[in-house]
Chains A and B, each alone.
Chain A
Amino acid sequence: MTANMERMISLAEIVKAEAPRGKSSYPRRKKFSQWDLQLLVIPSVIFVLIFSYLPMYGIAMSFQEFRLGDFPGMSQWVGLKQFGALFRDPNFLTVLRNTVVISLLKMLVNFPLPIVFAVFINELRQKTVKKFMQTISYLPHFISWVVAARLMFDFFSADGGAVNQVLMTLGMINSPIAFFNRGEYYWGLAVGTDLWKELGWNSIIFIASIASIDIEMYEAADIDGATRLEKIWYITIASIRPTIVLLLIFTVGGLLNANFDQSMMLTGQMGNAMLRGYADIIDTYVYRVGIQQARFSFAAAAGLFKAVINFALLLGANWLANKLDESALL
């Protein structure tokens, strides 16, 4: 609590204690009249209604055949026709594959590494170094993918980019590799650039969790002769297990998202034909097919498919966590 808060609280306690009893000097409130509280809340609720709930009619669009001129949500009903077309479309299957692969890779690599980084940060002894490294580590999180993509293009550039220079100096390759022009490299690049951008930020919650671990446990472990590695595994990581599980549930629930911004920027808004087959994900597909090709119902079906699967995954992960007796979301 801030010092400010503490001062206000002690003042408040005094005022409350001094309040005259019996003969109330404060205006009588009818038991449930809280028009002022409701008024504070209602404008925001209306906003949520308009911008979050109204678009939900889009769900109806997935089961209809939208024609130009139709009022959205009032087109002819065609049942599961759109979904049938979706699964028969080879483009969509490629897109689905890309989305799942990229997300799984990110989960495999970019989920554990922030935990490792947090543990390492915790092992640093000087406080200034700790703070400095932390501050630097989340610098890339605050820039947009527009900027990040440009930086990464330069970093991996075949024309004097740092990565190629280092690889050549180490003798691992003979001539520069044009990383961003090879489709097969895209998945690795997507994971790597995402790691570069979000490692520091994602480690914050773990660092904060670790900071709240009771020091006495480490001291007790010392007495029992534990090595540093053992302390890390049995105390540090074990203590932040609830946090890890919670975040894992969230990650699984976002599996089909795979970062629209990143995909658009790393491919020059899908301009790079060599990458398209590997970089197209569900969200970019919906954007291209829905907005640019104006196949609204079709794209709406893809979007709904994604939302439903994500939600099912979230519930599934949560159920599994509960089953394994871990702390869960719901």
Chain B
Amino acid sequence: MRRKKTVGDIILDIMVLLTMLLVLIATLYPFLNSLALSFNNADDTTRGGITIWPRIFTTRNYELIFANSKIYKAYSITVLRTLIGTVVGLLFTATLAFGLSRRNLRGRKFYTYFCLIPMYFSGGLIPTYFLIRSLNLLNNFWVYILPNLVNLWNMLLMRAYFKSVPDALEESARIDGANYFTIFYRIILPVSMPIVATICLYIGVFHWNSWFDAAMFISSQQLKPMQTVLISIISEAKFAEQIASAAAGASVDVGSIGRGKVVNVRSITMATMIVTIIPIVIVYPFLQRYFIKGIMIGSIKG
């Protein structure tokens, strides 16, 4: 049933094409540019003009950061909190979601409203700070984990998914004498891998990208995560940049000295940034169909 192409059709096609090109370029360019800069010789970067390909290839920037113990420490803190936080978060979120998905749960209505209210209303930053302080979680690694055990939005997504699992599975397990622990762990969970994958991604990304809780609650440098290190490197670069642009009008010599310093910091910044985003960038495409399904279930049927 092929109609002839009208003018409107062609215009639409052009608009679609232009939009896709724009999105493609605007999205990818900053990343490719940073990647190129991270692999480019620091002094050469001074001359400017690097777009998406390094001019003088070098791995020196990465060698420099991998030799830095501050970065190692921060990276291991980030990895540790992501791993622990994801596993524990998944556990607490899934068990709650599972319970709320069972129609025969005693007190189900109460539990449900109990979980719904904090989604719209919270005490705010100040009381949370006081709570953390009184729980002795200040300057403590566990402040990364404990306050984040259950995210109620995630919990709702999981509940919707668990609800969609056919009753026959649970019933036959009960006939065999299984208790709810077994039902949860051996029956429902294995069958719910899509939503588990989705929530793991969500929690994982949250922990990986977290910087504010470190800024608010942690003062010890030993416990700071990668994002915080990135912030301090970036602000060093900004500071040097401001010195450079202030001097740029004065004379060529002063300008290039300033710019040399800027660029060295800039190359390091780029390398650190790439190292920070690589794990997530690599992982997320593989989990795509899971989180797309997750969003669908949570919003349409939730």
Contacts and interface: CB of A to CB of B under 8 A. Distances in A.
A234 interface: no
A151 interface: yes
Contact of A222 (B3, B48, B95): B3
A15 B172 contact: yes
Contacts of A68: none
B118 A52 contact: yes
B125 A136 contact: no
B8 A48 contact: no
Interface in A67-122: 72-73, 116-117, 120
Given A137-B27, A162-B33, A208 B292 contact: yes
Given A120-B19, A162-B29, A196-B26, A56 B211 contact: no
A154 B30 contact: yes
21 contacts: A2-B191, A5-B166, A11-B172, A12-B166, A15-B176, A36-B180, A40-B98, A41-B96, A41-B100, A45-B114, A48-B150, A52-B152, A54-B123, A54-B131, A55-B122, A72-B127, A143-B280, A143-B281, A144-B210, A160-B48, A303-B124
Interface in B85-140: 92-93, 95-96, 98-100, 102, 104-106, 111, 114-115, 118, 120-131
B124 A58 contact: yes
Question: Which applies to chain B's interface (DSSP): helix, strand, loop or mixed?
Answer: helix
Nearest to B238: A268
Given A45-B96, A136-B28, A205-B299, A55 B209 contact: no
A159 interface: yes
A133 B175 CA distance: 48
Contact of A56 (B122, B174, B245): B122
B115 to A, nearest CB: 6
A132 to B, nearest CB: 9
Interface string A253-297: 100000011001000110100000000000100110011000010
A271 B242 CA distance: 13
Interface residues of A, number: 106
A5 B147 CA distance: 34
Question: Which applies to chain A's interface (DSSP): helix, strand, loop or mixed?
Answer: helix
B15 A311 contact: no
Given A147-B273, A159-B245, A304-B124, A45 B24 contact: no
B260 interface: no
B147 to A, nearest CB: 5
A205 B120 CA distance: 21
A27 interface: yes
A61 B127 CA distance: 8
A222 B3 CA distance: 8
A2 B194 contact: yes
Contact of B121 (A56, A152, A200): A56
B227 interface: yes
Contacts of A314: 120
B95 A136 contact: no
A13 B281 CA distance: 42
Contacts of B152: 48, 52
Given A34-B180, A286-B124, A44 B175 contact: no
B124 A300 contact: yes
The 5 closest A-B pairs by CB, nearest first: A58-B127, A55-B123, A41-B99, A303-B124, A144-B209
B231 A146 contact: yes
Nearest to A300: B126
B284 A142 contact: yes
A172 interface: no
A173 interface: no
Given A123-B16, A227-B9, A8 B48 contact: no
Nearest to A286: B125
A124 interface: yes
Nearest to B228: A146
Contact of B12 (A45, A146, A196, A229): A229
Contact of B230 (A36, A136, A146, A264): A146
Contacts of A152: 30
Contacts of B249: none
Given A13-B172, A208-B295, A56 B111 contact: no
Given A34-B106, A154-B30, 4 more contacts: A8-B191, A36-B181, A136-B28, A307-B122
Contact of B124 (A43, A55, A123, A219): A55
B300 A243 contact: yes
Contact of A124 (B20, B102, B121): B20
B114 A159 contact: no
A191 interface: no
B177 A27 contact: yes
Contacts of B147: 51
Contacts of B129: 291
